Amino acid sequence: MAILVTGGAGYIGSHTVAELLDKGEEVVIIDSLIKGHRESILGGRFYEGDLRDGELMDKIFKENDIESVIHFAAYSLVGESVQEPLKYYNNNLMSSISLLNKMKEHGTKKIVFSSTAAVYGEPESIPILESDRTVPKNPYGETKLAFEKALKWADEAYGIKYASLRYFNACGAHVSGKIGEDHMPETHLIPLVLQVALGQREHITIYGDDYATDDGTCVRDYIHVTDLADAHILALNKLNAGGHSNIYNLGSGEGFSVKEIVEKVREVTGHKIPQVIGERRAGDPAVLIASSEKIKQELNWQPKYESISKIIETAWNWHKNHPKGYKL
Ligand code: UDP
């Protein structure tokens, strides 16, 4: 029996495939390779294509005994989603609905969904609980929330069980150094600061230092990509054991400011990393920190990478050895 991983050639998808393979699971991957990298898939059976391609999806379900799905395939740029909302509704929501339809047709009844902290919008309190209000501030978060709701109704109507995992800031790279983060364009803080350390950028621009935080810069909750990957597997195991559908936050529970991250990168890389204070980035809340108590208690999830320096070391190891990402 196989696990279908959609978006398995993406950043979090490829790390989850790696963990599944380590556990001896049979893995089937579908990825359009629009954003993903063929080289990041360390094993399993790969299909290139789109979730909206009904014929391809039928073929995948017929050729493999798909027992469950882990669904990552999506665009993930918040800014782009505001500029091009329909691209996000089309790719993130419509393709997810097509996937769910195929699961229904082929009798696959379990799905772990890659959701996001962006479903919360401006937090009502910190740390953020799963039961807090969800008012996304951009189409990216909106489409993820819409699919979470579709899952709820699909469970009621068809008995498709789901776990939605709302990630905070995914970062780091596989401990083997074989796979890591490679986005085009890169917009995330840690890889951008590491590009400065590599001499690929002159400085890091800090998006605003007048927030209501200790040092004035935004505070985020950074979580290692392999810890995220492990959480998917635990969530799937729970569904396999007859668990009911559920929603979980995934973060470390600890916040670091942008300035603190830049300082940690200086310590890890030994590079002085010039910084420039720029304008605030639209839509950035001052503080986002998860409560991950629920997943710790219910699924016994425990992050292995608890130190931010260790997380940055794994990312540095990847970027240092792959300065051009997978193109190297
Ligand atoms: N950030 C920054 N400069 C950059 C990129 C990001 O100051 O060049 C800040 C951003 O405003 C946010 C934090 O770093 O407060 C993390 O941003 P990222 O894009 O990595 O993740 P997000 O929080 O948007 O999911």
pLDDT given for residue 283 in this prediction: 84
pLDDT digits (tens, 9 = 90+) for 111-147: 999 999 999 999 999 999 999 999 999 999 999 999 9
* pLDDT tens track, the chain, 328 positions: 999 999 999 999 999 999 999 999 999 999 999 999 999 999 999 999 999 999 999 999 999 999 999 999 999 999 899 999 999 999 999 999 999 999 999 999 999 999 999 999 999 999 999 999 999 999 999 999 999 999 999 999 999 999 999 999 999 999 999 999 999 999 999 999 999 999 999 999 999 999 999 999 999 999 999 999 999 999 999 999 999 999 999 999 999 999 999 999 999 999 999 999 999 998 889 999 999 999 999 999 999 999 999 999 999 999 999 999 998 5
Complete DSSP assignment for 1-17: -EEEEETTTSHHHHHHH
pLDDT given for residue 328 in this prediction: 59
Assign 98 to helix, strand or coil.
helix
Specify the pairing of strand 246-250 against strand 161-167: parallel
Cβ–Cβ < 8 Å for 221, 95: no
pLDDT given for residue 282 in this prediction: 86
Closest C-alpha among 164, 149, 142 to residue 81: 142
- The model's pTM: 0.97
Alpha helices in the chain (DSSP H): 11-22, 54-63, 78-83, 85-88, 95-106, 139-158, 189-197, 225-240, 258-269, 293-299, 308-321
Residue 258 beta carbon below 6 angstroms from any ligand 1 atom: yes
Q: Is 226 exposed, middle or buried (0-12, 13-18, 19+ CB in 10 A)?
A: buried
Distance (Å) of CA 196 to CA 124, 200, 218, 233: 35, 6, 20, 34
Residue type, position 158, single letter: Y
Reading the block at residue 283, the tokens are: 């839509």
Residue 281 beta carbon below 6 angstroms from any ligand 1 atom: yes
Ligand 1 centre distance from Cα of residue 189 (Å): 5
Q: How far apart are CA 279 and CA 276, in angstroms?
A: 10
Q: Whose CA is nearest to atom 4 of ligand 1?
A: 189
Rg (CA), the chain: 19
Q: Is the peptide bond between 127 and the residue preceding it cis, with omega within 30 degrees of 0?
A: yes
Kindly tell me the sign of the dihedral angle through the C-alpha atoms of 255, 13, 295, 248.
positive
pLDDT given for residue 243 in this prediction: 96
Q: Is 305 a catalytic residue?
A: no
* End-to-end C-alpha distance for the chain, whole angstroms: 35
Helix then strand then coil, in percent of the chain rounded to 5, is: 40, 20, 40
**Cβ-count burial 296-314 (b if 16+ within 10 Å, e if not):** eeebebebebeebeebbbb
Atom of ligand 1 nearest to the CA of 281: 11
pLDDT given for residue 28 in this prediction: 98
Residue type, position 170, single letter: A
Ligand 1 centre distance from Cα of residue 257 (Å): 10
Catalytic residue from among 11, 140, 248, 305? 140
Cβ–Cβ < 8 Å for 2, 69: no
Closest C-alpha among 305, 311, 253, 218 to residue 127: 253
